Chain A
Amino acid sequence: DAKTTQPNSMESNEEEPVHLPCNHSTISGTDYIHWYRQLPSQGPEYVIHGLTSNVNNRMASLAIAEDRKSSTLILHRATLRDAAVYYCILRDGMYSGGGADGLTFGKGTHLIIQP
């Protein structure tokens, strides 16, 4: 089973910020928090990942709680093209050979953007 929990769906308006939450209360000290998204009719694509500190890239920001038991993906200004399913997973940074937990995605959050 996935080690993360996410809301099934969220709705936001275009050009407004979106905060997508993810709970991972059993996270270990070496787990990286990864976010991926899947646009309609496409394979998932990488969005952002981090370990302890907040991270920013051209797509989004990742805010990690101080106790690391939750994180939030922030889309600063949502567009219609951001409508997708967003997945949050944990991947063990110490494990070099794989690990099914770090490959179990669950159902993610279906983000709906209203024009």
Chain B
Amino acid sequence: KAGVTQTPRYLIKTRGQQVTLSCSPISGHRSVSWYQQTPGQGLQFLFEYFSETQRNKGNFPGRFSGRQFSNSRSEMNVSTLELGDSALYLCASSLVGGANVLTFGAGSRLTVL
């Protein structure tokens, strides 16, 4: 079956702009979580969506937001981009329940100039 698909894979923006990233989960997976990864840092949790509702949110400013659609596809948006937002953004999907594994996408690499 198809894996987790993230688009776009690479993008370049300038400070002050906004960006929208998309994540299509594995069919049947209703939980989608998002992460930011910067050089030297681990995976920093952004937020998680389940059945179109944000269930959990990490310690990020309000410029970072997301949503989930009825087909479980998810988008995240970053407004008023800053240089420090340059990172690899990863999403993961899973079935509900901690016994179920997370499947990650390849990520979207954002560069802010």
Contact = CB atoms under 8 A, between A and B. Distances in A.
Range of interface residues on A (Cβ < 8 Å): 20 to 34
B42 A103 contact: no
Contacts of A92: 98
Contacts, number: 83
Nearest to B33: A103
Interface stretch (A15-23, A44-52, A74-82): A44-52
9 contacts: A30-B98, A43-B90, A43-B107, A85-B42, A93-B99, A94-B98, A98-B31, A99-B98, A100-B56
Contacts of A68: none
Interface residues of B, number: 28
B56 A44 contact: no
Interface of A: 30-32, 34, 36, 38, 42-46, 49, 51, 85, 87, 90-100, 102-108
Given A36-B102, A92-B98, A98 B56 contact: yes
B27 interface: no
A45 B104 contact: yes
